[in-house]
């Protein structure tokens, strides 16, 4: 493939050109990126399980659990220790990705910088985790901790997509890529509202679904009902936008199959997420429902970041 990027109008920043590598030259980078990204999403899921089951103090000591390197076979201890173990594994894998990027891909900005940034983000995540515990699970701290995890996941998804498209030129932001970016940005906002709902304990502000206290628009004189209503309303709006993105991408599937597949996947995950959200209410916040809700939310976010990234590959800005 030509190294020449798609031409831009005068005065506009040129897109990033393709990186010339042998066909098998970036297998190590791809493996490192996939491993770090997968471990991060697993960590997010286990973190949700820890919170949903109240296992945050399942291991009162650190780094040992009850003074042992192998935790006792107790429900909360196993869950909490699993979270610690995956955190260590994820940190190592992110370090490996950053090392590979630093040694061999310093000139590939779309791989090098997100890989290095991921190291800082995982360190910040650990610091925020400690602050959450010391801050007695304050809503703002819980939200900051979760949203930093989403930034980390999105950064790694971007690095992974870039690792698979280094031989492709990145074009300008065309209408499809712009729509994908907007969908991803609004999904990020939705995740922040959802995290704050959890932090404030507003998940059961209304005990029915899809209505709220039997109404479409209930009384919103208190914080928790207002937060819950905002979350449901924003979710409905973002779902429509993601559906629109999926339809637009599917119409262009012959030219950009990967973007179309990712957009349609995001819409499917979002539809499932709505039902999982309903299950949270119907089950009175059962741990399985809470964990699934957080895990699928992270997958939707990651899928949209991937769609927004890959939509620019080979784009001519048409």
Could you tell me if 149 and 202 lie in one domain?
no
Give the CA angle between residues 46, 293, 120 to the nearest 5°. 50
Domain encompassing residue 117: 26-167
Please identify, among 167, 195, 221, the residue that sits at the C-terminal boundary of a domain. 167
201 phi and psi, to 5 degrees? 65, 35
Could you tell me if 90 and 111 lie in one domain?
yes
- Across the range 125-150, mean pLDDT stands at 84
Instruction: Kindly state whether residue 244 falls inside one of the protein's structural domains.
Output: yes
Please identify, among 167, 188, 223, the residue that sits at the C-terminal boundary of a domain. 167
DSSP-based three-state secondary structure for 169: coil
Is the pLDDT reported for residue 314 higher than 70? Answer: no
Contact in structure between 99 and 31 (CB atoms under 8 Å): no
Instruction: Kindly state whether residue 45 falls inside one of the protein's structural domains.
Output: yes
Could you tell me if 303 and 187 lie in one domain?
yes
pTM across the whole model:
0.88
* Ramachandran class of 298: left when φ > 0, alpha when ψ lies in -120 to 50, beta otherwise: alpha
Give 220-257 pLDDT, tens digit per residue.
Answer: 989 999 999 999 999 999 999 999 999 999 999 998 89
pLDDT confidence of 317, banded at 50, 70, 90? very low
Q: Extract long-range pairs of 83-89: CB within 8 Å, 24+ residues apart.
A: 83/43, 83/46, 83/47, 83/49, 83/50, 83/55, 84/59, 86/39, 86/42, 86/43, 86/46, 87/43, 87/126, 89/39
Could you tell me if 309 and 244 lie in one domain?
yes
Q: Taking Cα atoms as reference points, which of 26, 30, 84 lies closest to residue 59?
A: 84
- Residue listed under structure tokens 């006792």: 72
Q: Provide DSSP, 16-34.
A: PPPPP--TTTTHHHHHHHH
Contact in structure between 267 and 240 (CB atoms under 8 Å): no
How deeply is 274 buried, as exposed, middle or buried, from its count of CB atoms within 10 A (0-12, 13-18, 19+)?
A: middle
Give 140-180 pLDDT, tens digit per residue.
Answer: 888 999 999 999 999 999 999 999 988 887 778 889 999 99
Give 98-111 pLDDT, tens digit per residue.
Answer: 999 999 999 889 99
Q: Taking Cα atoms as reference points, which of 23, 230, 122 lies closest to residue 114?
A: 122
Please give the tally of structural domains in the chain: 2
Could you tell me if 62 and 194 lie in one domain?
no
C-alpha span between 20 and 108 (Å, rounded): 10
């Amino acid at each position: 493939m030509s190294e020449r990027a798609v031409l831009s109008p005068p005065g506009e920043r040129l897109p990033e050109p393709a990186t010339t590598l042998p066909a098998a030259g970036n297998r190590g980078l791809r493996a490192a990126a996939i491993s770090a990204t997968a471990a991060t999403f697993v960590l997010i899921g286990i973190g949700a399980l820890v919170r949903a089951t109240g296992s945050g103090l399942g291991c009162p000591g650190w780094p040992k659990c009850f003074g042992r390197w192998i935790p006792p076979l107790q429900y909360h201890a196993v869950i909490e220790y699993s979270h610690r173990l995956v955190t260590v594994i994820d940190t190592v894998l992110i370090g490996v990705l950053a090392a590979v990027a630093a040694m061999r891909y310093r000139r590939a900005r779309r791989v090098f910088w997100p890989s290095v940034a991921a190291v800082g983000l995982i360190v910040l995540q650990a610091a925020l985790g400690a602050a959450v515990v010391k801050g007695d699970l304050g809503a703002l701290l819980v939200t900051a901790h979760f949203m930093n995890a989403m930034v980390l996941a999105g950064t790694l998804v971007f690095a992974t997509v870039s690792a698979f498209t280094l031989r492709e030129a990145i074009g300008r932001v065309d209408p499809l890529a712009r729509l994908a970016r907007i969908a991803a940005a609004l999904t990020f906002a939705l995740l922040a509202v959802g995290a704050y709902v959890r932090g404030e304990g507003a998940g059961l502000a209304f005990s029915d679904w899809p209505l709220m206290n039997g109404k479409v628009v209930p009384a919103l004189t208190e914080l928790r009902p207002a937060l819950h209503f905002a979350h449901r309303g924003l979710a409905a709006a973002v779902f429509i936008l993601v559906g629109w993105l999926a339809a637009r991408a599917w119409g262009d599937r012959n030219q950009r199959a990967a973007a179309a597949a990712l957009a349609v996947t995001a819409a499917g995950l979002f539809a499932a997420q709505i039902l999982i959200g309903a299950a949270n209410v119907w089950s009175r916040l059962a741990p399985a429902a809470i964990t699934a809700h957080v895990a699928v939310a992270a997958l939707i976010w990651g899928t949209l970041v991937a769609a927004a990234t890959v939509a620019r590959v080979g784009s001519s800005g048409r």
